[in-house]
Structure 1
């Protein structure tokens, strides 16, 4: 796996799969200029931090499995699946296709499409909830 692919995989596991919200950890991987586009919704860095904080409030565990990862220069494409165990009960499974752009080792952009495979109807917005 390339350095940029490893960096993205490490970011996903360190931030998404850790039960606690940690903005300092997010800042280790994501640029303050970060922009994310998920299912037609746009988040800047602050919006992404708020999204992760809200996600951690709603869940007690998130498992992420990378199915495929590829890179070209500073671009990384992933296909990953996320299993979300919610504090209110229930588990949702989400399929994710993501295109990350890095600059100087930091993630500066992500374009993402999500598909709810299993779970409650309201979980369609888990990828951009705030």
Structure 2
């Protein structure tokens, strides 16, 4: 599996899966993981908390990869995220991300997000805890 396939699988397995599963996160993300989303920084523990909160707020998250490219240990994606929240509302978010991998694990992600549809507070879905 090449690095672009690894990132696509991580998005499907961790983000799109309806249940929070820290063991599954550890299959894809390094304990040294750092994520920067729209200027907000999360370490591995913060990312696990973020994913738990997302699963608490939502009943479905769907990711569509628009474009993906990989070189060396870097993968760049443009993906769209459709979120169905438990309160009955929906959000659609465009994401531009730069992932860095080491030994098959994601060590860093730098993301810029753009809320396409949703309420103002949905702008923080990329880093909510």
- Band the TM-score falls in, shorter-chain normalisation: over 0.9
CA offset digits 1:64-118 (Å, max 9, x no partner)? 0000000110100000000000001111000000000000000000000000000
- Structure 1: 5+ residue stretches without partners: none
List runs of 5+ in structure 2 lacking aligned partners. Answer: none
Counterpart secondary structure, 1:114? strand
What is the deviation of 1:3? 0.4
Residues 1:78 and 2:56 aligned together: no
**How far apart in 2 are the matches of 1:27 and 1:118?**
31
CA RMSD of aligned residues (A): 0.7
TM-score for the superposition, normalised by structure 1: 0.98
Provide the aligned length of Structure 1 versus Structure 2.
129
Matches within 5 A, 1:60-79: 60-79=59-78
Pairs within 5 Å for 1:92-107: 92-107=91-106
